[in-house]
Amino acid sequence: MTTRKPPESETPDGREAISADADHWIRQFIKHFELNVLNSSRKLPPNAGVSEFQLATARAILATYLDSGMEFESAVELLAQVTLEKRSVNIAWNDALNQRRFALIDKEIQGTLTAAESIELAGLTRIMRDHVESELNLPIKGAQALHRKLLELESTGESD
Amino acid sequence: MNEKIDFRIDVEAAKALIHWKSLFADEVADSASRLAADSGQPQQVTLSHYRQAAQIAIRSLSAAILDQEVSGDDQKAA
């Protein structure tokens, strides 16, 4: 008899759950994030407004990623990727995204790239890298297919 | 109700609160996983475990805050 293995986010009786690692990550991230928000807010004037708190919070988010061991560029790319995901549901790499990335690189070379476009470029670079590095796009796929084929031939005695 | 409350909070105090919240959360998570293990289901920590663990953690936190206060006073006196 086969039983369906519940997804990681589900307990055997169907309740939603998270892993112990996720729980630990949340607690650590929140603690560092709070300390970083406090740190980035301590210099604010007494009459600071919401926009200044928002800026301090954005600095704290980045600082917390760096605290977690991420490189600066990776953290920026990650935030940019999430920004792009928010804009578009289908974020799979395609020719249109590739063309857009080239256009942004041209603007970067010309020195006319805006701050928002810089974030967009980082996000596109991240998505492109994920696409290139994904197992489906690696040449190993062909090697795996060949390996499977050889195993089949061996099991049927056709390899001689 | 909408009147802006104008007072300042020492950074040291705000940091202490962050530390206590973290201490409490860690204690709840650790105690809850121990309670789950004791109940024979170490791989499933439930809200019930967290409720019991939170009560234990409240007492631990209270003791930890008092300890910090005493050690802080000692440092000032030295």
Q: Which residues pair with A10 in a beta bridge?
A: A16
**The domain containing residue B78 runs over which residues?**
25-35+46-78
Enumerate the H helices of chain A as residue ranges: 20-41, 50-67, 72-87, 95-110, 115-133, 140-155
pLDDT score, position A7: 56
- B21 shares contact with chain A (CB less than 8 Å): yes
Chain A residues with CB under 8 Å of B6 CB are 46
pLDDT score, position A80: 83
On whether residue B62 sits in a domain, the answer given is yes
Q: Do B21 and A31 touch (CB under 8 A)?
A: yes
Residue B74, pLDDT > 80, answer no
Residue A116 identity? A
In chain B, how many domains are there? 1
Is the distance from CB of A105 to CB of A99 less than 8 angstroms? no
Chain B residues with CB under 8 Å of A46 CB are 6, 8
Q: Burial of A42 by CB count in 10 Å (0-12 exposed, 13-18 middle, 19+ buried)?
A: exposed
Residue A123 identity? G
Per-residue pLDDT tens digits for B14-61 = 999 999 999 999 999 999 999 999 999 888 999 999 999 999 999 999
Spans of chain A below 50 pLDDT: 1-4, 159-160
Q: How much is the ipTM here?
A: 0.79
Per-residue pLDDT tens digits for A22-69 = 999 999 999 999 999 999 999 899 889 999 999 999 999 999 999 999
Rg of chain B on CA atoms, in Å = 17
